[in-house]
Structure 1
Amino acid sequence: RAKLRIEPPTGNIDLNEDKVFICKVEGEAEELRWFDKLGEEIYPDASDRFSLESSEYDLQLLIRNAQVDDNGVYKCTAEAENGDEIERSISIKVIQRVTFDNVISNLEFDESDVATLDCIVTGIPEPTVSWTRDGQDVTRQDRFQKLENNSLVIRNIQPSDAGIYFCVGRIAARNEQESKSIAVKVNYAPRLISPAPEVVFTWLGNPVNVLCSVESFPQATFNWSHRGRELGESANVSIVANGDVSVSVVEVTVDSEADLGEYICNASNRLREVSRSIWVKEGGFPSAPQNLTVEPHSTTAQVSLGKPASDGGIPILGYKLEWKSDGAEWSSKMTESETFQIVELEPFTLYQFRAAARNGKGLGEYSKNVTAKTLSIREYTVSVQL
């Protein structure tokens, strides 16, 4: 018995697509015909958008520039050898995949603005639209809202809101999902980064770095002044930038007291300027080390000391340790450690010990002398502390 078959068997057509449906005869039949969704016969070259092409065993229906109005049931018929009419139908559905129109992929706003991210999403059937960032639905946050036209509004936008947002369109019926990324930048005025030293100690003849750190977008520009004068191009100024953080470093060489005093850093972008003062002061010598302790043995002594109460504003570089027996000259040793072993001492001998701390400016005052007697070869260790 003759029968008809339509290829392809499903009638989905993308919007504006051209597609051919072939009605094929299996067996003996003749007079193949196509009918549209209204039941009216389609003739060869019936219109610009519908046409037929035939061969001995099939009749092809060509639909050009498919539109939503073309949706419906189309039928192919033929007359079997016994005179009966046979038919096969196909349901034509014009679909549109998730499509994004005129989406701007890079947007820039100023801090505290009401930011609007537009996203026109079309599809057939109509897609649902959501907004995500870092895989999370942003509309659950208080300042974020999706409007009826699917645009995303961010109220009082903050620098922390900068990043990549995704406009996601989904057609659940086809399990179809597409997304479009939008990069958002937020301009904000320079902000001073703390902690940063407000006073830097140095000494005459020693260069010192004065730092000014800010966070901003766009990157800040820096201007330095000292005693009412701008530091010109001859000043040794460098800028290091890492993302939104910029650090300006000016190297100050203190040749005289005129180079000391207040240095003012001004950092600005088009939104605002901020300033901070850094004072360059002459540091002092360190005070004496605290808690000098001597643990004598027969020919050695273990010396421990504590940090000075004051480093003079300049980091401690090390210590000078001195010792002597009665009537002898002072022996000395420089060390960076706060513990030190003195060797080659005479057994059963009275020694005096003292220490001074050293910073970049020089050697500070000595501690009070500590007296300790080395042991005889057979004596036990005794600890003496001032």
Structure 2
Amino acid sequence: MKWVFYVIVFIYMFYRAVYGLKSIQKETRGLSIEPIDYGWDKHYYSAGTRKSIICKGTNKNQKVEWVNPSGNVVQRVATNRVFAQEHFLPTYQSRVPAMVLIFSHANVEDTGVWECRSGDVKKSVSLCVIEPSQFLDTPTEVTVDRGRSITLSCQAKGEPEPRLLWHRNGEIITEDLNPSKYQVMTKYNSQGFEGLLTITSLEPEDSGVYNCEAIQESPRIDDCMASVSVNISLQVNYAPMFADGNDTALVPGKENESVDLVCASDAHPTPTYRWFKEDGDILTEFAKEDIKLLDNGEKAVLTLVANETTFGQRYRCRASNQYGEFDKMFAILKLERPRKPNEVSLENSTYNALNFEVKWYGEIFFPVEEVLIQYMDLKSFIKKRVGTPREMDWKTAGEALLKVDGYDAVNTESAGLKVTLPELVEKTEYWVRIRASNEAGDSPWSEPILASTIDRPEVEAKMEIVEKSQDDPEAATASEISDGTFYGIFFAGGILVVAIGCMFAMRLV
């Protein structure tokens, strides 16, 4: 009979295990809230839109309800602006309850933490609703005359109340940035908040795009914010002016080839251009068809043939608008190769570079496009011979070719340019010579001079060691290991000598 008893016990335990587990499952309660999708470019719902949030249970018998940020249960009254609506969603086993929170007309006051609960089980979700700012009565283009002051204005209305910031070139404009130039103020009027930016003593460089940004931040939850902005283009009116003032522009030209005289002034509005040939006090104007306008009329080009009739001749470009006019002088020079430098002097030296000034005496009428520097270590030269290096000695010299930007033909009593010979060895003396080049050819070499680099400053040496250790830790470690190895071997050798000496002394005893 024992086996009958065992069978009954087994059947009972199996029944309790299966149906007891089902009863536990029936009593299990869980909640899940579908994530809020504001959209890929937003972090909030705009006020006035219709939205819904679904909270699902896990047991068909559980009761689910929504609680607003104030702690009140949301009623199931469809006529309310915010209400709850019950649904049952099918699953693979049965139907589960779902409570849908519906905002028929979302309001900024809805921002906060909403809670879905079923008994002691709770889930919460943060909701952000913003009425985005709108700019009212904000001009996007402003024009003002040079020397005057202007107040840029932008008015923004939204909820939460926006705060206004001014930007230019990615930088926030504050009175601390330049108190004598900018004044920033915000005031409230019937249209909303108004941001005012006053710019005093306007100059051409004040022209550009100014950005007014309206930032809204909700005090109810973190990260609930919005930002919109408007660009205001400011244009300063001013008379024509040239970057190099009224200095005569000397334009080199190859004989019997065309040369362009390019007249381009800074001005607003865009000026009109006239070209004249100057013959003493007499000005002869060129016809309009002889002048080519480029870049939407911002440049006026006069093309002439460089020859004996135009070399040295002066031409006048006149740029004018309603705010004034300005004349710019041009002269065509025969393009010749540079002369031999009259003087090359060392201005200063560092531990790895030499800075020279190259001079030509008297009037010069040639441009310099490149400078070639040859140099050789004095010690390596002395091993061969003494005295000044000969031409054959320079065949193995180092070279540095330097481009000269913006060095145009000049006409002064003493003209020159500054060049730097880089990447040298510290505390080393060099023979150096220089020649200048342009499209017409190369100048003869200058007379060679001696120049020396200096010791590297201790601070820079330490900084370089630190930088090398950061860039290549293994190299720095190897250096440290090599120093440590040297002293370790030296110490170990000393101990070995002492030990041998002691052994020798003991044998003698």
Instruction: Compute the TM-score of the two structures, normalised by the length of structure 2.
Output: 0.41
1:216 counterpart letter in structure 2: A
Deviation track 1:47-105 (CA, whole Å, cap 9, x = no partner) reads 36545242251221211231023356766676xxxxxx668585765432875646979
* Equivalent position of 2:106 in the other structure: 66
Q: What RMSD, in angstroms, separates the aligned Cα atoms of the two structures?
A: 5.5
Aligned-partner SS, 1:42: coil
Percent sequence identity over aligned pairs: 19
Once residues 9 and 315 of structure 1 are traced to their aligned partners in structure 2, the CA distance between those partners, rounded to angstroms, is 74
Find the partner of 1:190 among 240, 246, 249: 240
Deviation at 1:190, TM superposition (A): 0.6
* 8 Å CA contact retained: 1:75, 1:87: no
Aligned-partner SS, 2:270: coil
Q: What is the 5 A alignment of 1:1-386?
A: 1=27, 3=29, 5=31, 7-8=33-34, 14-16=45-47, 17-27=49-59, 29=61, 32=64, 39=72, 42-47=75-80, 50=83, 52-55=85-88, 57-71=97-111, 88=122, 93-96=127-130, 99=133, 101=135, 107-110=141-144, 111-120=146-155, 125-139=160-174, 140-142=177-179, 143-148=181-186, 149-168=194-213, 169=215, 171=217, 173-174=222-223, 178=227, 180=229, 182=231, 184-187=233-236, 188-194=238-244, 196-197=247-248, 212-225=263-276, 227=282, 230-233=285-288, 235=290, 237-239=291-293, 246=299, 248-249=301-302, 251=304, 265-275=317-327
Q: 1:229 to 1:28 in 2, by over 3 A?
A: closer
Which is further off, 98-107 or 186-195? 98-107
Once residues 279 and 9 of structure 1 are traced to their aligned partners in structure 2, the CA distance between those partners, rounded to angstroms, is 74
2:241 counterpart letter in structure 1: R
Once residues 134 and 65 of structure 2 are traced to their aligned partners in structure 1, the CA distance between those partners, rounded to angstroms, is 40
Deviation at 1:5, TM superposition (A): 3.0
* 8 Å CA contact retained: 1:98, 1:171: no
Deviation at 1:184, TM superposition (A): 3.2
Deviation track 1:336-381 (CA, whole Å, cap 9, x = no partner) reads xxxxxxxxxxxxxxxxxxxxxxxxxxxxxxxxxxxxxxxxxxxxxx
Q: Which runs of 5+ in 1 are unaligned?
A: 79-84, 284-306, 317-386
Once residues 210 and 160 of structure 1 are traced to their aligned partners in structure 2, the CA distance between those partners, rounded to angstroms, is 26
Aligned-partner SS, 1:20: strand
1:24 counterpart letter in structure 2: K
2:195 counterpart letter in structure 1: N
Whose strand fraction is larger, Structure 1's or Structure 2's?
A: 1
Count matched residues. Answer: 282
Whose helix fraction is larger, Structure 1's or Structure 2's?
A: 2
Q: 1:238 to 1:34 in 2, by over 3 A?
A: closer
Q: 1:315 to 1:21 in 2, by over 3 A?
A: closer
Once residues 133 and 178 of structure 1 are traced to their aligned partners in structure 2, the CA distance between those partners, rounded to angstroms, is 17
Q: 1:180 to 1:70 in 2, by over 3 A?
A: closer
* 8 Å CA contact retained: 1:9, 1:90: no
Deviation track 1:158-214 (CA, whole Å, cap 9, x = no partner) reads 2212344444437494286756463635242211443532899xxxx9999776552
Higher RCO (CA < 8 A, seq sep 6+): 1
Aligned-partner SS, 1:112: coil
Q: 1:75 to 1:183 in 2, by over 3 A?
A: closer
* 8 Å CA contact retained: 1:157, 1:186: no
Which is further off, 167-176 or 267-276? 167-176
1:22 counterpart letter in structure 2: I
Once residues 40 and 54 of structure 1 are traced to their aligned partners in structure 2, the CA distance between those partners, rounded to angstroms, is 17
* 8 Å CA contact retained: 2:182, 2:198: yes
Deviation at 1:268, TM superposition (A): 1.7
Once residues 34 and 363 of structure 2 are traced to their aligned partners in structure 1, the CA distance between those partners, rounded to angstroms, is 90
Instruction: Compute the TM-score of the two structures, normalised by the length of structure 1.
Output: 0.51
Aligned-partner SS, 2:78: coil
* 8 Å CA contact retained: 2:133, 2:228: no
Once residues 104 and 33 of structure 2 are traced to their aligned partners in structure 1, the CA distance between those partners, rounded to angstroms, is 17
Q: 1:31 to 1:24 in 2, by over 3 A?
A: same
2:33 counterpart letter in structure 1: E
Once residues 41 and 240 of structure 1 are traced to their aligned partners in structure 2, the CA distance between those partners, rounded to angstroms, is 70
